[in-house]
């Protein structure tokens, strides 16, 4: 009977360790799943070579840009232009402006999403400031570009073919312990 209790204890311990491991892996795995599928309005990432293979169409779509920041981040954050009308398949660029309103250097990082969520898998970002730390000196203002295009496949998907407007929304959050690596180096 003691052997049976030992096996049960080891099995329970292994299960507990496995559950902790799954808990730590859940966020990166969910992020990867969203990036691959466009689930929940997550945009797709493409490189410049992939983007070069896409051709513009004669159909246009309105892109609305939304900028937010958590209340404890002393920044002003806004799109340079709140909307843009682009040809589906054409590469375009939007600029977001961030300004540190405090008397100290502050680091932030942005998350993003696209609405309607079904459009996420067709909204392709070539270059973006999201998920990279941005450190702004006191009073510093920066221009942060987003290079993107809307995949022409959006026009043939029965669930998305009638979409006339997509909103790309960013929210900046403060970073408690910034990385010591140059935040501008990644550019993803």
Task: Tell me the pLDDT tens digit for each residue of 65-120.
Answer: 999 999 999 999 999 999 999 999 999 999 999 999 999 999 999 999 999 999 99
Q: How many helices (H) and strands (E) does the chain have?
A: 2, 10
* Residue 155 predicted with pLDDT over 50: yes
Do the bridges between strand 123-127 and strand 44-45 make them parallel or antiparallel, or are there none, so unpaired?
parallel
The span from the CA of 96 to the CA of 79, in Å, is: 4
Which H helix or E strand runs over 19?
helix 2-37
């Amino acid at each position: 009977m003691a052997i049976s209790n030992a096996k049960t204890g080891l099995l329970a311990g292994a299960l507990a360790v496995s559950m902790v491991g799954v808990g730590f892996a859940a966020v990166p795995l969910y992020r990867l799943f969203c990036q691959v599928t466009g689930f929940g309005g997550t945009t797709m990432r493409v490189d410049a070579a992939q983007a070069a293979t896409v051709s513009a169409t004669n159909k246009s779509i309105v892109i609305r840009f939304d900028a937010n920041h958590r209340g404890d981040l002393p920044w002003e954050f806004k799109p340079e232009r709140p909307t843009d009308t682009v040809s589906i398949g054409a590469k375009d660029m939007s600029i977001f402006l961030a300004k540190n309103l405090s008397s100290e250097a502050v680091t932030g990082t942005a998350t993003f999403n696209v609405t309607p969520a079904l459009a996420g898998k067709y909204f392709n970002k070539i270059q973006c400031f999201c998920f990279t730390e941005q450190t702004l000196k006191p009073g510093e203002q920066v221009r942060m570009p987003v290079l993107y295009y809307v995949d022409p496949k959006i026009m043939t998907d029965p669930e998305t073919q009638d979409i006339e407007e997509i909103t790309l929304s960013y929210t900046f959050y403060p970073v408690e312990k910034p990385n010591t690596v140059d935040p501008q180096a990644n550019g993803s």
